[in-house]
Amino acid sequence: MAKLMYFAQLAETLGRTSEQVVLPASVGDVKALIDWLGRRDEAFKLGLAEGRGMALMVNRAAATLETAIHDVDEIAFIPERLK
């Protein structure tokens, strides 16, 4: 399972700081993950729609929307204010 971690305002919006999920086969990069999370959870969509920039980390390394992810990875969403 992939571990997703949420920080600051996003954690407040979602009402949780982390969760573990089984990634669908169609989710192979960070962008696909964000799209999937937005479809799965309206709060996630709202948390990203407020215009906040988001730093992305995969396995504690800086990531981009194109960074490949796997079902064993740790993915963090960090609002830009915390960078």
CATH number, domain at 13? 3.10.20.30
The mean pLDDT of 2-30, rounded to a whole number, is: 94
Q: Look at the chain and report how many structural domains it folds into.
A: 1
* 18-73: pLDDT as tens digits: 999 999 999 999 999 999 998 998 888 877 765 467 899 999 999 999 999 999 99
pTM above 0.75, yes or no: yes
Rg of the chain over Cα atoms, rounded to whole angstroms, equals 11
Domain that holds residue 15: 2-82
Separation of alpha carbons 46 and 67, rounded Å: 23
